[in-house]
Amino acid sequence: MTNHFDLIVIGAGPGGYVAAIRAAQLGKKVLCIEKRASLGGTCLNVGCIPSKALLDSSELYHDVKTKSSRHGILVGDVQLDLTALMKRKTQVVKGLTDGISYLFKKNGVSSVFGSAMITAPGKVTVTANKGANEGAAGEKSVNEYQAPAILLATGSEVATLPTLPLDHQFIVSSNEAISFPEVPKKLIVIGAGYIGLELGSVWNRLGSQVQVIEFLPRILPLTDLEIAGMVQKSLTKQGFEFHLGTKVVSAKVIGNQVEVKAESAEQGSGKAALTFWGDRVLVAVGRRPNSANLGLETIGVTIDAKSGKIPVNSKFETNVPGIYALGDLIAGPMLAHKASEEGIAFAEMLCGHAGHVSYDTIPSVIYLWPEVASVGLNEEEVKKSGVSYKIGKVPFSASGRARCMDESEGVVKIITNSATDRILGVHIFGPRASDMIAEAVTIMEYHGCAEDLARLTHAHPSLSESVGDAAWMAYTGKAIHF
């Protein structure tokens, strides 16, 4: 393989691999370097995909056990084969990560497996993984590659707490909680964010008793407060136990159990200290950008000392010309689709085209059941902005399709500017909210109003009729079906 390229991408996650493919499609000679043994980054290997495979399997198990009889389907004694469930997850991951290798070949992207470090602007050394293609004999070979443009797409890693060091067996991160060898009887989750609630849901459905300890007085800090309240109620009904406004002080493994000590997050609250016992503790308190050990300090790339994120300009260029960054490594939500959008925009701008990411209309989805999906501002943010606003809100209990599905929990909430009718935010807590939010993204991207959304024809019977009905309510003050 030649060592000279037009673009070197470090990291093959949804930011890096998408940027590499798009740049190659636009005629660049691209090398992508990945230190994992497979392509796809956090998302495909240990993040979005394995967690969703587990969520889908556990949902099916839970539905067969608890919902099928309501449809008149009697299945007898339902058994869980955790080994088979995990095997299916691994197969899904493998199919998709192999798929990226296929896409690289198809688009002419070169790749090497090993740890990359920038030694000078335009120069990258790669220490090959043991046994990977660049160190076939098992020794750690080091190669140098050159390109006028280097893209940092190294993503993020698990953030930890000094009071809760991971031992990776009993006190674990999501990396291990997607592969527990057996269903923990008691799972303690630290952090009521995306990972805590998604993986908490998986194990709760499979039979764990889940206790969630959250520092803040609420769950899902970035979600619309009213929706977060509904989610908390729903999860509590599903068996979750929440301890909000609670700070973990220590954790100790004793035998095969973990003792977690916690206290009120509010100083001098007078609340008694708490002790929890669990078989496993999942620490899910956020992620940190992978900006260390890349040689960035040596070549003078600015790194934000507090967040570890790398500041970039509108072309994703760092303060050092020719070095770019995107995805979890830079500002904004740590989401796979955000990283991929940035990958496309970066590649297009690098190749002289216009590139753009609509940061105001990046949707977010939390894959619980019912699902939580949103785009735009939440009610608290709109209130804070001082804009006068209206709300259209309809429950799924008013939806014929939701009733047929026996899935009538949840609401669609649409927030509009009361003077202009323009949609400011859409929040859906309901069945398959992840798919319904696409319509809201489209209408907001085109600066649409509630009237535009209300007057679109929604197929009947479909869940998205509720989106139309909530739009009618925001536009006229009255829904048709509620």
Q: Please tell me the distance from the alpha carbon of residue 52 to that of residue 47, in angstroms, as a whole number.
A: 8
366 binds, among ligand FAD, ligand NAI, none (CB under 5 to 8 A by kind): ligand NAI
Closest to ligand NAI by CB, 324 vs 367, is 367
Query: Residue 36 touches which of ligand FAD, ligand NAI, none (CB < 5 to 8 A by kind)?
Result: ligand FAD
Distances (CA, A) of 243 to 212, 248, 328: 6, 11, 29
**Which residue's CB atom is positioned nearest to ligand FAD?**
155
Stretch that binds ligand FAD, among 4-12, 180-188, 444-452, 467-475 (CB under 6 A): 4-12
Show the site string, 139-168: x = touches ligand FAD by CB under 6 A, - = not. Answer: --------------xxxx------------
348 binds, among ligand FAD, ligand NAI, none (CB under 5 to 8 A by kind): none
Binding-site partner at residue 223 among ligand NAI, ligand FAD, none, CB < 5 to 8 Å by type? none
**Minimum distance from CB of 379 to ligand FAD (Å)?**
23
- The entry of ligand NAI, ligand FAD, none that residue 13 binds, CB within 5 to 8 Å by partner kind: ligand FAD
Catalytic annotation present for 71: no
> Given the complex with ligand FAD, which of 42 and 408 has the nearer CB atom?
42
Nearer to ligand NAI, 334 or 479 (CB): 334
CB 339 within 8 A of CB 345: no
With respect to ligand NAI, which residue has the nearer C-beta, 245 or 448?
A: 245
Smallest distance, Å, CB 464 to ligand FAD?
A: 21
| Greatest Cα-to-Cα distance within the chain, rounded to the nearest angstrom | 71
- When CB distances are held under 5 to 8 angstroms depending on the partner's kind, the choice from ligand FAD, ligand NAI, none that residue 190 binds is ligand NAI
Q: Which residues, other chains included, contact 398 with Cβ-Cβ below 8 Å and sequence gap of 6+?
A: 466, 469, 479, 481, 482
The one catalytic residue in 71, 447, 460, 481 is 460
The residue at minimum Cβ distance from ligand NAI is: 193
Query: Min. distance of Cβ 216 from ligand FAD in angstroms?
Result: 20
Question: Which residues form the interface with ligand NAI (CB under 6 A)?
Answer: 161, 190-196, 198, 213-216, 221, 247-248, 284-287, 333-335, 364-367
Residues annotated as catalytic (active site), given as ranges: 460
- Binding footprint of ligand FAD on the chain (CB under 6 A): 10-16, 33-36, 41-43, 47-48, 51-52, 115-116, 153-156, 174, 195, 290, 294, 327-328, 334-337, 339
